[in-house]
Structure 1
């Protein structure tokens, strides 16, 4: 059983930021999680994964929703 590393669990300040910059910032803050950048309309499985952050972007490659752990 893994023990989560304490740290940030959401990044509201990244909404509207370029996807690459946002993914880099999240990876810097939480190197223990995988960052997934997802384009508009990408299919996702509605599961919870404490080792993942999904970054939903718009058609301009900007973060569209607050990235959160899960």
Structure 2
């Protein structure tokens, strides 16, 4: 049974930079991508990636979707 963290609901509303730092601390084994929501979800599924999404035009870069592995 894997105990590696796969979701970060607590990061909603954080800045993307702070969220990336937290995810890197929790899971240094994954690549982190920061993307606007309009970019869509990348395919195919990648168990070594976490995407952090922010609202287009949000100069604060706040996390808008729960970051998940994939």
TM-score interval, smaller chain? 0.7 to 0.9
Deviation at 1:41, TM superposition (A): 1.4
Match of 1:23 in 2: 20
Unaligned regions of 5+ residues in structure 1, if any? none
d(CA) in 1 for partners of 2:64, 2:54: 5
User: 1:1-70 maps to which residues of 2 (within 5 A)?
Assistant: 6-58=3-55, 59=58, 60-70=60-70
Larger helix share, 1 or 2: 2
Q: Which moved more, 1:58-67 or 1:35-44?
A: 35-44
TM-score normalised over the length of structure 2: 0.84
**Aligned-pair Cα RMSD in Å:** 1.5
* Runs of at least 4 residues off by over 4 Å: none
